[in-house]
Chain A
């Protein structure tokens, strides 16, 4: 019997057979925490009696959640993490040089095809876009990885997801993953892995693949992996911080289930309050009025996200009643968007452009919602209170839908503000 991609990666990192359901001890290629999870991880690390992280080039701490520090308590917490990172001599980047961990680490070549990566953040699954088994854990688990260089993983059953057909220009990675979660629910892949493939993703840009992998956890999955192809390898080779060995599923791999999507007929979708699986076509959501639009987060703060939103907003204005907040996920994205004039498009339109941070996505800062306010957001979770008041509402959508909504002041299908030609001409389509 063949192996799924995740099983092949676990087998390559373990002395065990890595059969489905088996708990395996695995070597870890890279392990990281952020400003919220880093300080408690450092504390657990010391309680374990550990002196040194297993490899200073493979352990990192990235201040990205409440940074630039939003208040005294977050400043103290960030400082604790930074002091630990400096004491250990491990990887650490300051504000101004870091980005949202799940955008920054792949950009810098620290997450690579075939890797096992553990991060003390649930959206660590984003690295699956590169064909890595990248998964989130809590601070104590992460501390044990820093100390030992290994962890335990149960070999999960895999749900194979195939996208067929030709993707229309208005369909982004966000619409694809929301369509999947809407179909299988927020626990449709609980304790399983998702494996993405099919001819419909052959031309899908890496940035859209990161968006899809990012939300695997919203279906309950351990990770969401893409089978590496030329696009993956080109991205990884040009950035790799070390050597890597891509892994592949066998043609007779046993899948627990298959989900098939035809892209031809797909349209923009949104996840309505208060669950990522409450997914409907945007045109069937009743065009609710909105108070805020947020374009950014580890889900949709990459270059293509910023680019498509900017192109839609070019020459238009943000609706008078709406705050539009744009946060590129890293400085690489920020600088590229600046060079292309996209940041200027946003500010001319009346949007706020902020420094890379997770910021409002988790209700941290830079765009918190009041009771009764409603936001269209490109982030990944719309749980009660996620972006502020437990009486606020969040609608999850693609950067194109978010930008169209910012312009009209209501949740809007981008096809209702732009001609078909616009979508055909978007780069990557």
Chain B
């Protein structure tokens, strides 16, 4: 999560739960390309057909509430979304996104300003979200230091691998 990127926004409301992000009937696979085909199906059945690779989901408060299914951030990644911007995230979704490498940005001001169809540019290093359609730029609060370490290690899998190797060397 280093390079800047841009895409078109798809805006949703508050409390978008993981059941509508990826309904349980599809939880017989954990392959992100398979899950991606059904992303957002129960709230916006045309989402996957209408969006383009690199587009982003923008939402209000408590995005990803409900089930702990990691399939939710995987489905969003699999559909080709570049990131999710929300006013706030539910805690399990927040952890899962970091763990599977889906970039997420908590920014209530940006989430309030952006509407469906707006062109949005995100610079993770500078910590900015720019609504190019409206000509507004917002600052994103940085992740906590431990989470930055986790993200820069490449996510939880490489981080855990490194911890295991350190333990083996120590033993």
Contacts and interface: CB of A to CB of B under 8 A. Distances in A.
Interface string B75-90: 0000000000000101
A363 B20 CA distance: 12
B23 to A, nearest CB: 6
A39 B92 CA distance: 18
A43 B96 contact: no
Nearest to B100: A140
A381 interface: yes
B131 interface: no
A415 to B, nearest CB: 32
B161 interface: yes
Contacts of B46: none
Given A144-B156, A384-B20, A385-B20, A77 B28 contact: yes
A48 B164 contact: yes
Interface in B13-32: 14-15, 17, 19-20, 23-25, 27-30
Contacts of B68: 37, 120-122, 124, 136-138
Interface of A: 23, 36-37, 39-40, 43-44, 47-50, 65-66, 71, 73-74, 76-77, 120-122, 124, 136-141, 143-144, 147-148, 152, 154, 186-187, 190-191, 217, 220, 222, 275, 362-364, 381, 383-386, 390
B153 to A, nearest CB: 12
Contact of B91 (A36, A143, A190): A190
A363 B69 CA distance: 14
B92 A138 contact: yes
A381 B27 CA distance: 17
Contact of B92 (A66, A73, A136): A136
Given A77-B28, A120-B68, A152-B146, A137 B92 contact: yes
B15 A275 contact: yes
A141 B99 contact: yes
A233 B29 CA distance: 41
A262 to B, nearest CB: 28
A141 B164 contact: no
B125 to A, nearest CB: 22
Contacts of B19: 362-363, 381, 383-386
B121 interface: no
Contact of B99 (A73, A77, A140, A364): A140
**Closest 9 interchain pairs by CB?**
A73-B28, A138-B70, A138-B96, A40-B30, A385-B42, A122-B68, A140-B99, A187-B62, A48-B160
Contact of B146 (A23, A124, A143): A23
A363 B25 contact: yes
Contacts of B91: 190-191, 220, 222
A148 B160 contact: yes
B144 interface: yes
A126 to B, nearest CB: 13
Nearest to A44: B157
B26 to A, nearest CB: 10
Contact of A384 (B28, B42, B163): B42
Nearest to B158: A48
Given A120-B68, A136-B68, A187-B65, A148 B164 contact: yes
Interface residues of B, number: 43
A280 B97 CA distance: 34
Interface string B99-111: 1100000000000
A36 B69 contact: yes
A144 B43 CA distance: 32
Given A122-B92, A187-B61, A138 B17 contact: no
A39 B28 CA distance: 10
Contacts of A275: 15
B23 A363 contact: yes
Contacts of A148: 160, 163-164
Given A74-B28, A76-B28, A138-B99, 14 more contacts: A36-B69, A40-B30, A40-B70, A44-B156, A49-B161, A66-B28, A120-B68, A122-B92, A140-B99, A186-B62, A187-B90, A220-B62, A275-B15, A363-B24
Nearest to B144: A23
Contacts of B70: 37, 40, 120, 138-140
Given A50-B164, A385-B42, A390-B42, A220 B69 contact: no
Nearest to A47: B157
B67 interface: yes
14 contacts: A44-B156, A49-B161, A66-B27, A137-B68, A137-B95, A140-B157, A143-B160, A144-B159, A148-B160, A275-B15, A362-B19, A384-B43, A385-B23, A386-B24
A141 B95 contact: yes
A157 B70 CA distance: 25
Contacts of B88: 187, 190
Contacts of B164: 48-50, 147-148
A386 B131 CA distance: 34
Contacts of A124: 68
Contacts of A390: 20, 23, 42
B66 interface: yes
Contacts of A383: 17, 19-20, 66
